[in-house]
């Protein structure tokens, strides 16, 4: 696990313990007080019995909690749970999803290195790679999410990382993780998968060969829209040799409070995401029939271009994000959004509250029109992060504006 790895005791769990058991029981043994639910360790530093012990611990000769920029019990509990759910040896939690991507790039790349990235990933990911990392001489190519030959053609001798998000936000384009992993490994590079849209409840990218799984804990992992958080799940070696040293110097650490919230969220992750995914599919089917809707994107629909692949990779589930184009443009999309009374108009998903978003003017507003067009994000597009309210109520909320457009 993340620092400090070996000396910190583990919870005794049966070897055969399943994922739901691990989501609830993984972490750290209870404190001497025997609390049943995890304690929240709000402390900036930790004490040592004597000066010599402190010296050994600072020299990494003995594992212990030292300072909460390096590690903290509440953060370790989250990291162990998330690693168990993703099926990786280790995990490092970060202050946000973008903090996780920054940590990834800064710890694995140097000037002259090259990254191949899907052109349809999260808007801030593109900005970070192109504008910020670009300033330091990191080169990047952006390719079609679904065209494996385009990924292959973009690989150079200096390529260190392939970065994919699947399904993408908001287009729900699904890439073939195994095919990209094979490409990366043949080129001596690593495949990183942003698993925000599925969460490990639906998809475990390492099963298909991915080397690093990136998370925004802000989405389904928290699941109730409370905190910003992020994480990278990977091998023990990558975490301890690459990510932890950068973290110790750079401080993109997750606060113990936010870690505690997300760790509690993981306990119900699987139940929530499966229920939200089923509601999303029902809404997608209904939207497909609506006369005011031009197109519906949800990997669970047979009409989705990568439906079969998605069902294989995502445990037979489409996920809880539905994207659709209304007939018309920005004006029509805004009218549907503004007619809602229940859905939150916000830029998030993964919450138990349904959230409605106009990607072109919010989450993807910083991209150029050409970049948006390349990614397929038009002005008539609406993204719905489907929550856990009654399905009939969410449907009625969308129908308010859509029925007016169709009339
Ligand atoms: C939200 C999101 C991020 C960034 O996460 P933050 O926690 O907001 O920093 C990255 N990738 C995807 C797919 C996201 O949805």
Give this prediction's pTM. Answer: 0.95
- Please give the CATH number for the structural domain made up of 1-92+234-267: 3.40.640.10
The ranges assigned to domains in the chain are: 1-92+234-267, 97-217, 269-406
- Please give the CATH number for the structural domain made up of 269-406: 3.90.1150.10
Q: Do 396 and 283 form a contact (C-beta atoms < 8 A)? A: no
Please state, in angstroms and rounded to a whole number, the distance separating the CA atoms of residues 355 and 47: 44
Predicted confidence band of residue 376 (pLDDT cuts 50, 70, 90): confident
Please tell me if the domain spanning 1-92+234-267 has the same topology as the one spanning 97-217: yes
Phi, psi angle pair for 191, to nearest 5°: -100, 125
For residue 4, is pLDDT > 60? no
Token pair, residue 225, equals: 């829209």
For residue 7, is pLDDT > 80? no
pLDDT tens digits, one per residue of 271-323: 999 999 999 999 999 999 999 999 999 999 999 999 999 999 999 999 999 99
Which CATH fold topology does 97-217 show? Answer: 3.40.640
Please state, in angstroms and rounded to a whole number, the distance separating the CA atoms of residues 173 and 241: 33
Three-class DSSP category at 271: helix
Three-class DSSP category at 88: coil
| Probe residue for ligand 1, chosen from 82, 94, 98 as the CB with the greatest number of ligand atoms within 8 Å | 98
Measured from CB, residues less than 6 Å from any atom of ligand 1 are: 96-98, 122, 165, 169, 194, 196, 216, 218-219, 228, 230
Token pair, residue 294, equals: 């031009």
| Probe residue for ligand 1, chosen from 99, 101, 218, 319 as the CB with the greatest number of ligand atoms within 8 Å | 218
Residues 6+ away with beta carbon under 8 Å from 350? 196, 199, 218, 219, 220, 221, 222, 223, 225, 320, 385
């Amino acid at each position: 696990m993340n620092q400090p790895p070996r000396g910190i005791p583990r919870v005794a769990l049966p070897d055969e313990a399943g994922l739901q058991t691990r989501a609830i029981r993984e972490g750290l043994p209870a404190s001497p007080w025997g609390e049943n639910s995890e304690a929240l360790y709000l402390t900036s530093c930790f004490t040592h019995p004597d000066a010599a012990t402190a010296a050994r611990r600072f020299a990494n000769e003995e594992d212990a909690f030292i300072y909460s920029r390096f590690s903290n019990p509440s953060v370790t509990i989250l990291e162990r749970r998330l690693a168990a759910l993703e099926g990786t040896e280790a995990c490092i939690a970060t202050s946000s999803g973008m903090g996780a991507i920054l940590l990834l790039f800064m710890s694995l790349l140097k000037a002259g290195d090259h990254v191949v990235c899907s052109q349809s990933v999260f808007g801030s990911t593109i900005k970070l790679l192109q504008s910020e990392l670009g300033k330091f001489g990191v080169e990047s190519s952006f390719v079609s999410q679904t065209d494996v030959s385009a990924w292959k053609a973009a690989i150079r001798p200096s390529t260190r990382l392939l970065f994919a998000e699947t399904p993408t936000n908001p287009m729900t384009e699904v890439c073939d993780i195994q095919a990209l992993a094979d490409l990366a490994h043949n080129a001596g590079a690593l495949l990183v998968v942003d698993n925000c849209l599925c969460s490990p409840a639906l998809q475990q990218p390492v099963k298909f060969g991915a080397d690093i799984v990136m998370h925004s804990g802000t989405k389904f992992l928290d699941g109730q829209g409370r905190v910003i958080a992020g994480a990278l799940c990977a091998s023990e070696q990558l975490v301890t040799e690459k990510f932890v040293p950068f973290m110790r110097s750079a401080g993109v650490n997750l606060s113990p409070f936010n870690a505690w919230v997300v760790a509690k969220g993981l306990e119900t992750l699987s139940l929530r995401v499966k229920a939200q995914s089923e509601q999303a599919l029902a809404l997608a089917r209904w939207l497909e029939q609506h006369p005011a809707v031009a197109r519906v994107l949800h990997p669970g629909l047979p009409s989705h271009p990568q439906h079969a692949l998605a069902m294989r990779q995502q445990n037979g589930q489409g996920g809880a994000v539905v994207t659709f184009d209304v007939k018309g443009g920005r004006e029509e999309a805004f009218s549907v959004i503004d007619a809602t009374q229940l859905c939150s108009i916000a830029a998030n998903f993964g919450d138990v509250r349904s959230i409605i978003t106009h990607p072109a003017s919010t989450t993807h507003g910083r991209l150029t029109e050409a970049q948006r067009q390349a990614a397929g994000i038009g002005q008539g597009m609406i993204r719905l992060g489907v929550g856990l309210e009654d399905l009939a109520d969410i449907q009625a909320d969308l129908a308010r504006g859509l029925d007016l457009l169709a009339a």
